[in-house]
Amino acid sequence: MMSDLFFQLTIVDAADLLARRALSSVELTEAYLNRIAASDDRFNSFITVTPELALAQARAADDELARGMRRGPLHGVPVALKDLYDTAGIRTTAGSTFFADRVPDTDARAVTLLYQAGAVLLGKLNMHEWALGVTNINPHYGPSRNPWDTARITGGSSGGAAAALAAGLCLGALGSDTGGSIRIPASLCGIVGLKPTYGRISLQGVVPLSWNLDHAGPMARTVADAAILLQAIAGYDPDDPACANVPVDDLLATIDAGVAGWRIALADDSHFGQGDAEVLAAVHQAAAVFEELGARIERVDLVRGQEAAQMNALMTTSDAAAFHRDRLRDNPEKFGADVRARMERGAAFTSTEYILARRVQSEWRRQLERLFDVFDLLLTPATPITAPVIEGLDAIEAARQLTRCTAPFNLAGLPALVLPCGMSTTGLPIGLQLVAAPWREARVLCAGKAFESATPWHRLTPPGE
């Protein structure tokens, strides 16, 4: 196989080739490492590349496959990690200068599970500083750049992951999501991102932003690839107090079941129904696709969506200020300006305001639980706009706008999948968000796969890639 074809593979494709030994993990890993070295200066998606580790893992994967030992579909597949997942012996910066030389002794639980599944680690991905922002304009490691237009942001805070996937620099990635940090860059870069139910994936060894709102999750080029990644890392971890002991479905068993007979809600109100005309048109066209696939679409007004987004921001910044209280007191100048401003705002909220936000959280969650007593799925835009330009962007204002449709579902802790549903006239991806009831990751994946199979958007690649 010509190496330039490697970068059109999905995890599903690569897994098949590796299992049949039509391709070796070493060949695949070397191709990706070479591509990173040749082209990542355009995208700045990696903070740290790990060629020695990757090749050692690839050789080990090939040896096991030669002996007839296959750990599953990730065996020998090159992936990358947002740089807030602890990795033993590899620096984990969290996009900050405080952690610039921090080298953990142990791996995060999700990383351990990826290794157990046979995955190969290419390196650690760029991110918004401390994950507190959605532009990925990092003052310490430089901005990640959108492969569809390198003058534009990737979104964040998992922006390096989205850029690397869109540019063909890895086959899968793990990100984190507190107000949209997986789903926003997935939307702006035209890939797939899944925020699972709160507590579905262990956060042990993941540098926190908000103990109450953080979610770990997969990012990939296709829905099936996201399902494979999630299957590998989901499950109960007694060492993480936020991790829930809830059984994990066989996510691939029902992924092709379709949506015929489903009752699907389309959020169409003053909060979720505001955005660029092209974005809203693409989302409405996506709803029409689901109708063609046999689902029934009904427009709904999600009262309190705006309030939920605001309370998510209040809790996020307050929790971040608590985690960073010593650093914020002793070395405030070492934070980027936008991150410091948001943390200082978070520190200024009163306990009364925080308690009221938690009350809104409970009420909003109950409202959505009742919605899903009636509907199988909820559709919303992923982001109300396409990717803005980097130059002159106000990161704090961008966060308010870009988290509009994603943050409410962090507050509720519900599973939410983002995938491409169109392109703007300027050639930028448009994202669709699918939301389901708690623990129904299989449902959003099934719906996403049905939509993906009926549309061409996931097959498009950035110019020159």
Distance CA 57, CA 64 (A): 11
Sorted by where each begins, the domain ranges of the chain are: 3-459
Query: By the 8 A CB rule, do 138 and 335 touch?
Result: no
Query: By the 8 A CB rule, do 362 and 346 touch?
Result: no
Buried b (16+ CB within 10 A) or exposed e, 119-150: bbbbbbbbbbbbbbbbbbbbbebebbbbbbbb
Per-residue pLDDT tens over the stretch 240-298 = 999 999 999 999 999 999 999 999 999 999 999 999 999 999 999 999 999 999 999 99
Q: For 241, phi and psi rounded to 5 degrees?
A: -65, -20
If phi over 0 gives left and psi between -120 and 50 gives alpha, with beta otherwise, what is residue 130?
left
pLDDT over 80 at 465, yes or no: no
Best CA proximity match to 384, nearest among 196, 188, 219 = 188
Distance CA 334, CA 330 (A): 10
Per-residue pLDDT tens over the stretch 155-171 = 999 999 999 999 999 99
pLDDT over 50 at 23, yes or no: yes
69 contacts: CB under 8 Å, gap ≥ 6: none
Sign of CA dihedral 209, 194, 42, 342: negative
Instruction: Give the three-state DSSP class for 153.
Output: coil
* pLDDT at residue 8, rounded to an integer: 86
pLDDT over 50 at 1, yes or no: no
112 contacts: CB under 8 Å, gap ≥ 6: none
CATH superfamily of the 3-459 domain: Amidase signature (AS) domain (3.90.1300.10)
pLDDT over 60 at 3, yes or no: no
Instruction: Summarize the confidence of residues 196-220 as an average pLDDT.
Output: 98
Q: Would you state the structure tokens that stand for residue 296, as one six-digit string? A: 């029934």
What confidence tier does 4 reach under pLDDT thresholds 50, 70, 90? low
Residue 129, CA distances (Å) to 49, 103, 146, 318 in order: 18, 17, 17, 16
If phi over 0 gives left and psi between -120 and 50 gives alpha, with beta otherwise, what is residue 76?
left
Per-residue pLDDT tens over the stretch 303-316 = 999 999 999 999 99
Output the 3-class SS for 155-172: CCCCHHHHHHHHCCCCCE
Catalytic residues: 82, 157, 181
Residue type, 80: A
pLDDT over 80 at 2, yes or no: no
pLDDT over 80 at 65, yes or no: yes
Output the 3-class SS for 310-356: HHHHHHHHHHHHHHCHHHHHHCHHHCCHHHHHHHHHHHHCCHHHHHH
Strand partners, 123: 49
Distance CA 433, CA 453 (A): 16
Residue type, 292: E
pLDDT over 80 at 439, yes or no: yes
